[in-house]
Amino acid sequence: MNNTFIPYEQALSILEEHKGNFPIESKNIEDCIGAYLAEDLIADRDFPPFDRVTMDGIAIVHATFKTGQRKFKIEATAAAGTPQKILKDTSSCIEVMTGAIMPMSVDTVIRYEDLKIVSDTATINLDTLSYKQNVHFKGIDISKGTIIAPKGKRLSSAEINIAASVGKAFLKVRQLPKVVIFSTGDELVPVHQTPELHQIRRSNIYGIQATLKEWGISSDLQHLADDKAEMEETISRLLEEYDLFIFTGGVSKGKFDYLPDVLETLHIKKHFHKIQQRPGKPFWFGTNTAGKKVFALPGNPVSSFVCVYVYLQFWLQKSLGIEQEQLFVTLKNDVQFNPDLVYFLEATLESKPNGTLVAEAIKGNGSGDFANLVKTDGFLILPQNKSRFFANEVYPFIPYRSKW
């Protein structure tokens, strides 16, 4: 293998070495859905903060019930949000509501469904009771000082709920990069235009933009014609405005693939250009001294899609401090692939009753067959230096669709 082609693992290492340093900003909790935490969410008190009643009913001393007593005079009522009551007579009870702080000197709650209340006396219609039943005890969920959600976590409604519960009216989150996505090539026409026989519509950029949106990142779209001077002028101008540049096409060996030369002219340092993989070998990554990052992806749709999910996603996760969780699946069908390359193979994903995830390889008609992406759920990562892959073997999998 030519030394200009680097291994897949080396590409990941280089991307991690050049991960982004996204600034931290403070945002109102109401505006944080989908943002990435830049601080740990820490419990400021025990969860729950007191012994909490979980059923409407009465609270008694369990030992009194064990003596055979079934009738209990109601001394008081403890509602949610009121100060803690205290039982004065252990042969009596306190009427309690869900969410109330458990009164002092009682230990067990009986729900209304198991009672008959006449006037100020409750009769328990049960022969047995569990000691301390229907009580949610202080600190049983989380103790004070525990990290509930770590920095790097993307904020869903669950984390927003927790943030509010620990008093975070404002949250420190990562300020995401300003992104521009370029299509390149004279053969591409706008999506609303009817193409001539020799033309195709721009599609890659919309797929990439939608993917970034799923990850909580907005982006702008641009198009570059096959004109070296125009490319240089446009990119030079936009380098002042954007942080992350994503190109599709123009990075291979074609006569009009000007992009690598243009990027070099603009003093963007190339860290790698080609990777020992299929699809997506001609993938260019570089940076400049101002910290701008450039991902120049292959123009073929499947190749571009692979590089977004394998490399751009990896770089973003490292930049945000997210530890990537590798998914492993069982291969359903045999696969043969002779080239000495890492093979990113499209596959469907199925959850089996025995708890395993099974991936069926669905080979398309090359890196231009992006219609095959609609039929599949992600990419198997089939390792280099191996040509035959058998059913029931386990391999890494990168999903690009959530089925559940």
Q: Are residues 9 and 118 in the same domain?
A: no
* Number of compact structural domains in the chain: 4
Q: Are residues 169 and 194 in the same domain?
A: no
Q: How far apart are CA 365 and CA 250, in angstroms?
A: 22
Q: How far apart are CA 46 and CA 146, in angstroms?
A: 9
Binned at pLDDT 50, 70 and 90, residue 201 comes out as confident
Let me know if residue 404 belongs to a domain.
Answer: no
Let me know if residue 311 belongs to a domain.
Answer: yes
Residue 60 sits in a domain whose CATH number is: 2.170.190.11
Residue 348 sits in a domain whose CATH number is: 2.40.340.10
What's the Rg (C-alpha) of the chain?
A: 30
Q: Are residues 114 and 236 in the same domain?
A: no
Which residue is it, tokens 């892959």?
389
Query: By C-alpha distance, which of 253, 379, 391, 400 is closest to 333?
Result: 391
Q: Are residues 74 and 112 in the same domain?
A: yes
pLDDT digits (tens, 9 = 90+) for 256-267: 578 999 999 999
Let me know if residue 291 belongs to a domain.
Answer: yes
How would you write 117-155 as a 3-class SS string?
Answer: EECCEEEECCCCCCCCCCEECCCCCECCCCEEECCCCEC
Binned at pLDDT 50, 70 and 90, residue 369 comes out as low
Query: By C-alpha distance, which of 347, 350, 362 is closest to 404?
Result: 350
Let me know if residue 217 belongs to a domain.
Answer: yes
- Report the percent of the chain where pLDDT is more than 70: 96
Other residues' Cβ atoms within 10 Å of the Cβ of residue 4: 8
Residue 37 sits in a domain whose CATH number is: 3.90.105.10
pLDDT digits (tens, 9 = 90+) for 267-299: 999 999 999 999 999 999 999 999 999 999 998
Q: Are residues 289 and 364 in the same domain?
A: no
Give me the domain span that covers residue 159: 26-41+149-174
pLDDT over threshold 50, residue 252: yes
pLDDT digits (tens, 9 = 90+) for 57-102: 999 999 999 999 999 999 999 999 999 999 999 999 999 999 999 9
Could you tell me the pTM of the whole model?
A: 0.86
